[in-house]
A and B are shown apart, each in its own frame.
Chain A
């Protein structure tokens, strides 16, 4: 049994496997199907200051080895989260991390501040990369100035571990990563979904209600891996890697490319217990290759 524990600033993960926001609900939906406390962390659904209804149906289209979604941050708002959901998840024995979104730096900061007060939420993941909402989301994540403004506002009011989730829909993702590092982000996670589109040729209509959506799943993995490798070389803070991870081999690739931890998203839909299998697979690989700790493989690719 190799050592699997990793640290992201003050956040201690028992293993580097987490589940990605928007793909694992609040964890509770999967409780029958896998031991939630077996993974390093659960990043819950995107949460905003005010409730949001999200986009119209259809919000999903299957594509080759992936899917497009335009859910658009449907959630009941941070106050509902604190009052009704937090009590249900606070005793799950793993890191429960909240994914925070907003439409202005002040929004983000206020939402983050309310979550700062919750004892059993040790970290937030700041989503400056949602491609499916007009106001905010990715609008901040695609320029250094936008990304900096949000992280700066949040950093003033959030005191625990701050992970910033980056958009791949940019020319140079390392630049954005360096900008948020400079404003005090403790870690960056990447990638969020890639903007995409699909058309029903018989009906001559797009398959998604807002025409475009975010691509996820194994189709994006090579792009995500490349970006994680680039960003890991560009910043000193730990990098969390995600995008298309379906098995332990995929996960090990991300670790080798420089990720300290990984997240599993769309693959949860294919196999709700996949994250536990990835954890076990990493462990077995380390054992069979004579590694005593996962740290021996993190960032081995120059």
Chain B
């Protein structure tokens, strides 16, 4: 897919949680085509400490409104700066990068999208694109407490939503892999994004249930283009670049032993 370097205009920045903002970007020209699971490398100017670009998943693309949405967790200097953006600010974006999730081949496919924390971000666009083809996704979303569940209403508008919280304040209590859904139903494919321990647990479940599973990795990146070889993950095919060969990998390729 052709890559672009664009100065996108901030349309809105919404504080949807103490630590998370939803940034909507737009451009005068139509935004390029982007696939669910792909990401953007963002330039955060103004400090020697935010020297490299920051990789952020494509959370949603609203074609009618010509908007690109980013869900950002303010964890360090760069992402905290992003959280302070104001409407009208410009953001230099390199996009779309990476491969993206495998899309269903038919509307009959039963697909489960498992996300935790800010890892839910790419699953919204994935689910929305699936719903567009008439394939209704099941989302399984995990968080620490009810108030840490992000964008629930929007997820609900595209599919069935199951929830776990660690304190039981919403949905079932525990981690995503404890949810009864996984005992009671079978899926043709699982896609997951979130903290590595969560994705590894989902991968273990998938192997046992003999369900195809793809995980989206978040290795540290410099170029985002497959040029520097900094972001590599060890796989059955040797070291692969998460930025170019991923970020989405079939778990069979990953050397996740446990």
Q: A69-B230, A217-B51 are in contact. Are A269 and B239 (CB under 8 A)?
A: no
Q: Is the CB of A54 within 8 A of B229?
A: yes
Q: Are B48 and A65 in contact (CB under 8 A)?
A: yes
Q: Which of B58-66, B171-179, B217-225 contacts A (4 or more CB under 8 A)?
A: B217-225
A264, chain B: closest CB distance, angstroms: 12
Chain A residue numbers with a CB within 8 Å of B232 are 54, 57, 59, 74
B48 and A29 within 8 A (CB): no
Decide: A25 near B225, CB < 8 A? Known: A59-B232, A74-B239.
yes
> Given the complex, which residues of B lie within 8 Å of A64, measured CB to CB?
48-49, 51
Contacts of B228 in A (CB 8 A): 22-23, 25, 60, 69, 71, 269
CB-CB < 8 A to B222: which residues of A? 60, 67, 69, 266, 269
Shortest distance in angstroms between A297's beta carbon and chain B's nearest beta carbon?
29
Question: Is the pair A270, B52 in contact by a Cβ cutoff of 8 Å?
Answer: yes
Question: Contact between A268 and B230 (Cβ–Cβ < 8 Å)?
Answer: no
Q: Indicate whether A184 reaches chain B with its CB closer than 8 angstroms.
A: no
Q: A54-B229, A71-B230 are in contact. Are A271 and B51 (CB under 8 A)?
A: no
Q: How far is the CB of A209 from chain B (nearest CB, A)?
A: 11
Chain A hits for B244, CB < 8 A = 29
Q: 1/0 per residue B244-256: CB within 8 Å of A?
A: 1000000000000
Residues of A52-101 contacting chain B, CB below 8 A: 53-54, 56-67, 69, 71, 74
CB-CB under 8 A from B4, the residues of chain A are: 32-33
Is there an interface contact between B52 and A273, defined as CB atoms closer than 8 Å?
no
Question: In the complex, what's the smallest C-beta–C-beta distance from A161 to chain B, in angstroms?
Answer: 24
Contact B230 A32 (CB under 8 A): no
For residue A229, CB closer than 8 A to chain B, the reply is: no
Q: Does A272 contact B (CB under 8 A)?
A: yes
A3-37 with Cβ < 8 A to chain B: 22-25, 29-30, 32-33
With A33-B3, A272-B5, A273-B5 as given contacts, are A58 and B220 in contact (CB-CB < 8 Å)? yes
Is B24 among interface residues, defined by CB-CB distance under 8 A?
no
Is B238 close to A, CB under 8 A?
yes
B226-247 vs A, CB cutoff 8 Å, 1 = contact: the mask equals 1111111110001100001000
Cα–Cα distance between A57 and B221 once the two chains are bound (Å): 11
- Whether B208 sits at the interface, judged by CB under 8 Å, is no
- Per the 8 Å Cβ criterion, residues 238-286 of A in contact with B are 266, 268-273
B residues near A24, Cβ cutoff 8 Å: 227
A53:B49 contact, CB within 8 angstroms: no
Check A268/B229 contact, CB under 8 A, given A53-B239, A74-B239: no
Indicate whether A33 sits within 8 Å of B239 (C-beta atoms), given known contacts A69-B230, A71-B230: no
Q: Which of A22, A217, A272, A273 has the most CB of B within 10 A?
A: A272
- Tell me which of A30, A58, A270 contacts B51 (CB under 8 A): A270
Q: A53-B239, A64-B48, A272-B94 are in contact. Are A32 and B227 (CB under 8 A)?
A: no
The 27 listed contacts between A and B (C-beta, < 8 Å) are A22-B228, A22-B229, A23-B227, A24-B227, A29-B225, A29-B227, A32-B2, A32-B3, A32-B4, A33-B94, A53-B238, A57-B232, A58-B220, A59-B229, A60-B220, A62-B49, A67-B51, A69-B222, A71-B228, A71-B229, A74-B232, A217-B51, A268-B227, A269-B52, A269-B224, A270-B53, A271-B5
Query: Which 7 pairs between the two chains have the least Cβ-Cβ distance?
Result: A25-B227, A60-B230, A65-B48, A64-B48, A32-B3, A29-B225, A29-B227
Interface residues of B (CB under 8 A from A): 2-5, 43, 48-49, 51-53, 94, 219-234, 238-239, 244
